[in-house]
Structure formats: structure tokens, C-alpha cells
Amino acid sequence: MREAFHEQLDSVFDDLAGICRSVESAVRLATEALLTGDAEVAERVISADVEIDRARESVEEKAFQLLSLQQPVAGDLRTVVSALRMVSELERMGDLSVHVAKIARLRVPNVAVPLEVQPTMTKMATVAEDMVSRVSQIITGRDVAAAIELGRDDEVMDQLRRASFVELLSDDWDHGVEAAVDIALLGRYYERIADHAVSVANRVVFVVTGQDPRTVGA
């Protein structure tokens, strides 16, 4: 009976990793739409979010079934509850990718990001996509060391966010208020994707160790 229960738990985590891969694709495509002004690619991101929502609902249903039928305790209960929180974070990451895609679509046929800001925005997108990719591997392998490392690397995103503010607040900024608002929002979206990635990784640490991730490996 317990073996079947743990197989079901593993299935939930496999689903979480699959959602994470879908989010990674959404981040990549949203960035492509943003930097090219491709409305069709933006629409693909927006439409695909429905599948992420359905996958979240499926994980929640599985988790609630485990709670109601198996009545897990201790470590098993911790794992199920953490899975419920993780899937919510992953769905939010998908939503943030949609926000990026919607800004891209709104500015078509123009490109939302001014040319001189594109290097910083591209770096932010690359960091976000890389962090989401690593979270998928962390979930699959229950890799505590990689999860802790991801949390430390989040500082890179924070530095890029500050750099984007320096650019849009510069005296040389001549792209108007609309573009400035876009850049501020886009920076926030990528930063939040990274924050959610760290939060998911921290929950993996909690699942494996039962400890606050801030105290593991300190």
C-alpha cells in the first residue's frame, strides 16, 4: 500500500517537472516575441497557458486525492503539501510569461524594448529561462545542493533589474513614458519568474531535509 502511495507521489513530482518544462518554453517564446515583435509567437504563449492551468488542476486533484485517501503524516504529508504550493508557484511563472507576451503583442508592429535596452533585457530573460530549466532538474532529482545554489544565483537577476532601472531613469532616455513603463513592468516580470523559481527550489529542500532552506548548507 505504501509503495503505491510513493509511486503516486513520484508521479506528482514528474508532473511538476513537466509543468516546469512548459514554463521554460513559455519564457523562451515570450522573450522571442518581445525582442522580435512577432505577434504570432506571442499568441502561442498566451494560448499555451491554458495547458499549464490544466496541468496545475491535474496535480492539485492528485494531491488532494492522496490527502483524502492516504491520510499521510510526517514527511509524506510535508511532500504533498509542498507539491500543492509548488504547482501554484509554477502556474504563476506561466502567467508572468503571458504578461511578457501581452506587452510584445500590444506593441506590434513595433518592438517593445528600445534597442539600447535589449542587451540587459535579453540577459534577464536568459537568466530567468536558465533558472526555470534548473528548477525542473532540481524537482526531478530532489537535488538539495542545486536548489541552494539556485537561491544564491538569484542575485544576478537582482543586479540586472537594478541595471534596467538605471537605463530607463537616465537623462539620455528619450523613448517616452510608455516605453519606460514597459521596461519597468518587463523587468518586474522576469524578476518575479526568478523569485518563484527560487521559491520552488526552496520547497524541494524542505521536502528532502524537513529544514528551512536558509539554514541548510549555511
Q: Per-residue pLDDT tens for 183-217?
A: 999 999 999 999 999 999 999 999 898 877 666 55
Where residue 151 falls among pLDDT bands split at 50, 70, 90?
Answer: confident
Q: Per-residue pLDDT tens for 22-49?
A: 999 999 999 999 999 999 999 999 999 9
The pLDDT of residue 171 = 84
The pLDDT of residue 108 = 95
The owner of cell 483524502 is 68
Which structural domain range is residue 56 located in?
A: 2-209
The pLDDT of residue 80 = 87
Distance between CA 59 and CA 54 in Å, rounded? Answer: 9
Q: Residue 194 domain-assigned?
A: yes
The pLDDT of residue 152 = 80
Q: CATH code at 60?
A: 1.20.58.220
pTM: 0.92
The pLDDT of residue 57 = 96
- Looking at the structure of the chain, the number of domains it has is 1
Q: Residue 7 domain-assigned?
A: yes
Q: Residue 97 domain-assigned?
A: yes
| Mean pLDDT within 70-95 | 88
- Residues comprising the chain, all counted: 218
* Alpha helices, DSSP H, located in the chain: 2-36, 39-70, 74-107, 118-141, 144-168, 176-209
The pLDDT of residue 187 = 95
Q: Residue 215 domain-assigned?
A: no
The pLDDT of residue 2 = 65
Q: Residue 45 domain-assigned?
A: yes
Q: Name the amino acid, one letter, at 53.
A: D
Q: Residue 216 domain-assigned?
A: no
Cell reading at 162: 537594478
What does R_g of the chain's alpha carbons equal in angstroms?
Answer: 19
| Mean pLDDT within 159-179 | 90
Q: Residue 112 domain-assigned?
A: yes
Q: Residue 217 domain-assigned?
A: no
The pLDDT of residue 153 = 77
Residue 4 reports pLDDT greater than 80: no
Residue 123 reports pLDDT greater than 90: yes
Residue 218 reports pLDDT greater than 60: no
